[in-house]
Structure 1
Amino acid sequence: MDTLELSDPAPDEVQIRIRACAINFPDILMIQGKYQFAPPLPFAPGGEVAGDVIATGSNVRDLKVGDKVCADTRYGGFAEAINVPANLVKPIPGDLDYAKAASYKTTYITAFVALTLRGNLQPGETLLVHGATGGVGMAAVDLGKHFGAKVIATGGDDDKLAVVKARGADHVINYTLPDGSLGGFREEVKALTDGNGADVIYDPVGGSVFDESMRCINWGGRILTIGFTSGVWPQAPVNHILIKQISVIGVRAGEVGRRNPALGKQIDDDLTALIEQKAIDPYVCQTFALDDAVAAMKMLTDRKVIGKVVITP
């Protein structure tokens, strides 16, 4: 770990004393050089932060020193302070603490865009959430219940799934097979849906989980492709898509706001309202000091995290 001098914020930036930085799977992929966005080297990971404004650029009017804020940084959050464009910074919503404020945007925006804009989830439909013990999965369970869906959650650990069940999932399924691979949920999902299958499937896992999902989806159902934490890019069987009139839908939620800032702001406002109403509640399982960032990332890669893990510089 190095000590670097941080410049004053540019005219349209604010400088934030970081109190919390959430870790997401893309941080791991960036370090490995496998993510679609490659920061210039050298860089510090960490794309979601919360903290206190300690300086403002000359053009900044809506934020002031002392404000408690959260921000999207893409990278650079594993640090004590950071300069961030003011348009990416907002006051912490509701009464969230720093750790939860740093944890909600990536996961809940992903789930919100997936379930509303892309999946068109309707009250009374069955939502199957894979990887439900991770950050993006827990957010989907949270929002799915808020939107009135029946939620079936899958994961690979009974203790973690018990937490998801306690947070509102209607049913949980451990999809870890005896050989360590993922699957074996198809028949249980069909049994829980009178043989029909799920209406919407939220899949951040890919691989064999996607393949089996194609066998337990309702006619006219939607599979939302969120990511590939399994490391395997599945091949969609087009004949099955045709026969059951399935929609396989990609979700790249962060790009929505970048391409349509007005829509991005509306999504952010909607999530802020849900937080202020206490309709959703980000889940942080553990915090680590900045010096222990490697251990925190290993916890994520070893799949020991429930919800989110956070660095507290």
Structure 2
Amino acid sequence: MNRRKLLETLGGSALIGVTPGLAGANAGEADSELRKSEKTPSKRRVETALDNPISNNIFDVLGLPPKKSGEPTQVEIHIDGSRISHSIHIPTHLGNLSVCYKDATLMYAALQLDRQNVSSHIRRKIAGKRGWPSNTNGQIINFKTRDGIYFTRSATRGEAVRATNEIGGDIEHNKVTWRNEISNKTSSGEYTVTNKNEVYTLSHSPIEVKTRKPVGKRQGVSIQASRCSGSIGACALDIVMSTPHCGLAGIGCMTWGPTSLACLLVVIDLCLPNAYIMHVSGNCYDVAKNCDLP
């Protein structure tokens, strides 16, 4: 299945189930199964997910305590039957909170915000110089091993056009997002763009390239120092580029690094539905077979 057809498949309404296509498929390589499944979490797991320093920091930034507004779920992520992580998803009055773990280690917390439930004062506080347009989706993400809490949102069409004009390429295949470090009072925000095998950051006024980082492999050779880091970055990129409305850099991968396991977990956790099966090959197959995952 080609990429366009896969995009159409993934872009269907409320798709839950099996996608017949391959993400990152390379001819002649065996395929693996990436599976997400749901179950009911224990009361203790839910309480721990809500009450920990990483989640608390997000709600402290907003100046509001978390209030559950629905039933929590536990989402398991497996590649070829081996669990690589799990996350606790908790509906709140501000949006869905996702707290992700590798084994018993907390990796990150992300709050996918419901804009209409966030006051204009808070929107101005977290969004940075470019603000939070009404037709875009936003979230706050906080990694355990990094200082800084980030707000990210999707780009408007006009922003995507300006960013694409600066770096080149096809606007339909660039993933453009806006990111602002809330915890850094001097931050004015920046655009992040995923384009083929590269991730860019761009300033907004004037709009120009600040950084440019390669991700994944070229001609079968990792372009990162570690084979696993190269495969992880390329696997994440494969999924992002096959999934509408998912920006690799914008959901935090530029914070922790596009070749990190944390980045891959964010992509799988937040870009794909909770009950889902995806057949992957090439880069993701290499991660499943050769990398030291939990």
Provide the TM-score with structure 1 as the length reference: 0.27
Provide the TM-score with structure 2 as the length reference: 0.29
Relative to its length, the structure with more strand (as a share) is 2
Higher relative contact order (CA closer than 8 Å, sequence separation 6+): 2
Q: Which has the larger radius of gyration?
A: 1
